[in-house]
Amino acid sequence: MPGISIRNVIKRFGDLVAANNINLEIEKGEFFTLLGPSGCGKTTLLRCIAGFLDPEEGQIHFGERRVDGIPTHKRGVGMVFQNYAVFPHLSVQDNVKYGLKARKVPAGEQEDRARQAISLVQLEGLENRLPNQLSGGQLQRVAIARALVIEPEVLLMDEPLSNLDAKLRVEMRGEIRMLQQKMGITTLYVTHDQEEALSISDRIAVMEYGLVRQVGKPWEIYVRPQDTFVAGFIGTTNMLDCEVTVDKAGILVARSGQVSFGLTQSDGLAQGVKLQLAIRPEAITIRDIDEPIPDGHWSMEGKIVRFEYLGSMIKYEVGFSGDVALLVISYDAEPDKIKNVGQRVKMSYPIERAKIFRKGPAQ
């Protein structure tokens, strides 16, 4: 069942197309995230859904109900912003009650609902404090309670954790996710932080220049990026310029400098095709030079250039003849397994973990 349908939405600012024909179907109860770099159009799309901006073209539905063209306060949206936007002169309790007063909810019911919302976000005991007597995390809880208390059909959150320090951000994203699941509320969340998006979302839309590049579950986007932008924006990846060539065994491989990479997606590939190859650093296993290679793996030899020991993992840079280097992350951080700088090593990766992207127009 659809929670939010966004159909062919276009929003322009002069010549700039900030939302360029966006189509998204968000399920009822889903936690859906718009992820992309600053300026890609996330806030613009969210504001179109909230009713603060009118798109030039397209339609927006909440369930069966068409909402574009109707004013914000009639859409049934709760909003949480980066800068909290709580009223400085009102206590926690009065901030939370604000939306209920505006909707002329009876006083007794206001009390009950505000109490429940305050308890949901764990602010009991702070009801009478003013915003300047609260920490950043507490302020954001007030903002969340205020958005939820009106029992919105849709919850919209625009970078709600950006002003908090790193540790609190991680804590609060877990809380937001738990709260959302408990209430089953359809949520559209905006962030530029890929780790936050991966950790909190049912599905993610990755955006660039007003366009949706890919929609998928977090692991789909991470493991099967559809283009080099998504591959590069989400997580860390080795990206290499390659050319398809035939190796000594007569197999089509991608060649970068002196190094050959085995491919599975050889369909339609022909010698001379130029492409970009992406391999995640953790898809590559570092082995001793005489170690056997599992079936389905492609192996290479190189030399350790440097490494960083990070406790739970080691980051290696492995060099090859020519200028090619790969980042490899190993979770096998046992002291006697650590390779030394200058040591020759074998590496292998499951062939399907090498993703190829053709360069230029489709060939």
Ligand X SMILES: Nc1ncnc2c1ncn2[C@@H]1O[C@H](COP(=O)(O)OP(=O)(O)O)[C@@H](O)[C@H]1O
* Nearest residue (CB) to ligand X, 41 versus 262: 41
66 in Cβ contact with 59 (< 8 Å): yes
Minimum Å distance from CB 31 to ligand X? 19
Beta-sheet strands, E only, within 71-192: 77-80, 154-158, 186-191
Contacts of 271 (CB under 8 A, 6+ apart): 244, 245, 246, 252
40 makes contact, choosing from ligand X, Mg ion, none, with CB < 5 to 8 Å by partner type, with ligand X
Burial class (CB in 10 A: 0-12, 13-18, 19+), 310: exposed
Q: Is residue 33 near Mg ion by the rule CB under 5 A? A: no
Q: Is 330 in the site for Mg ion (CB under 5 A)?
A: no
H or E element in which residue 235 lies: none
Q: Which stretch binds Mg ion (CB under 5 A): 37-45, 65-73, 85-93, 99-107?
A: 37-45
* Of residues 43 and 330, the one with the C-beta less far from Mg ion: 43
Closer CB to Mg ion, 91 or 162, in the complex: 162
Cα Rg of the chain, angstroms = 25
Q: What is the rounded distance in angstroms from the CA atom of residue 170 to the CA atom of residue 155? A: 20
**Which parts of 199-218 interact with ligand X (CB under 6 A)?**
none
Q: Around 188, how many Cα atoms within 13 Å sit in the side-chain half-sphere?
A: 27
Task: Select the binding partner of residue 238 from ligand X, Mg ion, none (C-beta < 5 to 8 A, by kind).
Answer: none
Among ligand X, Mg ion, none, residue 309 binds (CB under 5-8 Å by kind): none
Q: Which of residues 295-314 bind Mg ion (CB under 5 A)?
A: none
The contact mask relative to ligand X for 4-43 (x = CB under 6 A, - = no) is: ---------x--x-x-----------------x-xxxxxx
Q: Which is nearer to ligand X, 16 or 310 (CB)?
A: 16
* Residue of 224, 183, 196 lying closest to 3 (CA atoms): 183
CB of 270 to Mg ion, least distance (A): 43
Binding mask 42-71 for Mg ion (x = CB under 5 A): -x----------------------------
Query: Computed from CA positions of residues 71, 75, 80, 81, in that sequence, does the dihedral angle turn out positive or negative?
Result: negative
Residue 80 in contact with ligand X, rule: CB under 6 A: no
Given the complex with ligand X, which of 188 and 277 has the nearer CB atom?
A: 188
Q: Determine how β-strand 203-208 pairs with β-strand 186-191.
A: unpaired
Per-residue interface string for the shown chain with ligand X, residues 39-78, x marking contact by CB under 6 A: xxxxxx----------------------------------
Residue 103, both tokens: 């909707």
The minimum distance between CB 52 and Mg ion, in angstroms, equals: 12
- Measured from the CB atom, the residue of 68 and 159 that comes closer to ligand X is 159
Does 180 contact ligand X by CB under 6 A?
no
Question: What tokens were used for 248?
Answer: 């000594």
| Pick 233 or 261: Cβ nearer ligand X | 233
Q: Work out the end-to-end distance of the chain between its first and last CA atoms, rounded to an integer number of angstroms.
A: 39
CA atoms of 202 and 27, how far apart (whole Å): 10
**In the bound complex, which residue of the shown chain has the CB atom lying closest to Mg ion?**
43
Q: Record the tokens describing residue 262, joined without a space.
A: 């085995």
Number of shown-chain residues binding ligand X (CB under 6 A): 11
Sign of torsion over alpha carbons 36, 39, 42, 45:
negative
Does the footprint of Mg ion cover residue 82 (CB under 5 A)? no
Residue number with CB closer to ligand X (90 or 211) = 211
Q: What share of the chain is helix, strand, coil (3-state, %, to 5)?
A: 25, 35, 40
Residues in the interface with Mg ion (CB under 5 A) total: 1
Residues near Mg ion (CB under 5 A): 43
User: Which residues contribute to the site for ligand X (CB under 6 A)?
Assistant: 13, 16, 18, 36, 38-44
